[in-house]
Amino acid sequence: MKAPLIDNLQYANFSEKVFRQLRAGGVDAIHVTIAYHETLREMILNLEQWNRWFERYPDMLMRGTEARHVREAQESGRTAVFFGFQNPSPIEDDIGLIEIVHQLGVRFMQLTYNNQSLLATGCYEEEDTGLTRMGRAVVTEMNRVGLVIDMSHSAERSTLEAIDHSTRPIAITHANPDWWHPALRNKSDEVLKALTNSGGMLGFSLYPHHLAGGTNCRLTDFCEMIAEAADRYGAENLGMGSDLCQDQPDSVVEWMRVGRWTKDIDFGEGSASNPGFPPMPDWFQDNRDWDNIRDGLREVGFSREDTDGILGGNWLRFYENSFGPA
């Protein structure tokens, strides 16, 4: 069977249109965000919505909880959907909820979303104090049950300490190297070496604030960055995490950045003059455009095998080793 196509982070405004685009683009699996600032109950309501979609569109979608579901989706012409949190808010201050959310099908959880959490420091805080006492305990429990630690929105020291404390490889599901584009959300060479040397995975982001040149980033520049990353960290540790927010209204950006933590508008990765979602680059508008990236990777010199790995094979291997109990 051919290598799968896996996008390890999307937060589209999902609809029948988007599901049909996933199938048109041959996307075999996606990791979708089901919590930013939600409580446990609010997150469960998001799970209910996905259950309705699985029931309504059984010819296009299936629930993913194990690596084998990617191959099952391929064989049946569907997209396997895996769930993740971008913030630990659904576990509140209760470590016992980690096993519960894993039992509910969640497979990724960020320790922070930009701000300080009970577990670690986010990338927008001025001081990074690293993992908290609860953070270390949570990492250990996540390792035990098979809930992947995601440090995409975390600060430097916290990320390094998570990599060091975890007994299993972790993920940065959607970010780029800061040596290519110095956004606060992008990651240092030190972090990426520590991540990949320990068997962890980096998913490259297509969100314009993470791209050199933003919306005007050229496909060639993006693919040449991936080639440089492969030289530094090994192609086997690289994948895609597009951070696609297709069809979301700008009010959702406010929810992502502000949540409940402030009464003011926090522009985060945007600006006061452009606080909404930035337009995607013209070579990646939606899930029908993955062949553009495939062609771009081949044009900058990647072999077919490495291209297949970056576009999904490497995430599948990571799933196989990460989703079950230690």
In order along its 326 residues, the chain shows pLDDT tens digits of 899 999 999 999 999 999 999 999 999 999 999 999 999 999 999 999 999 999 999 999 999 999 999 999 999 999 999 999 999 999 999 999 999 999 999 999 999 999 999 999 999 999 999 999 999 999 999 999 999 999 999 999 999 999 999 999 999 999 999 999 999 999 999 999 999 999 999 999 999 999 999 999 999 999 999 999 999 999 999 999 999 999 998 888 887 888 888 888 775 665 544 567 899 999 999 999 999 999 999 999 999 999 999 999 999 999 999 999 98
Residue 80: partners with Cβ closer than 8 Å, 6 or more residues away: 28, 29, 30, 62, 63, 64, 69, 70, 72, 73
Q: Is residue 184 part of a domain?
A: yes
Residue at 244 is within a domain: yes
How do strand 79-85 and strand 171-172 relate by DSSP bridges?
A: unpaired
Instruction: Give a yes or no: residue 160 inside a domain.
Output: no
Tokens, residue 164: 């060091």
Token pair 């600006």: residue: 271
**Has residue 300 been placed in a domain?**
yes
Question: How many distinct structural domains can be found in the chain?
Answer: 1
0.85 surpassed by pTM: yes
Judge whether 16 lies within some domain.
Answer: yes
The answer as to whether 216 is a domain residue is: yes
Sign of CA dihedral 60, 61, 62, 66: positive
Range of the domain at 246: 6-90+169-322
**Residue 228, domain CATH:** 3.20.20.140
In a domain, 305, yes or no: yes
Residue 155 within any structural domain of the chain: no
CA distances for 318 relative to 168, 205, 236, 254, angstroms:
11, 18, 10, 32
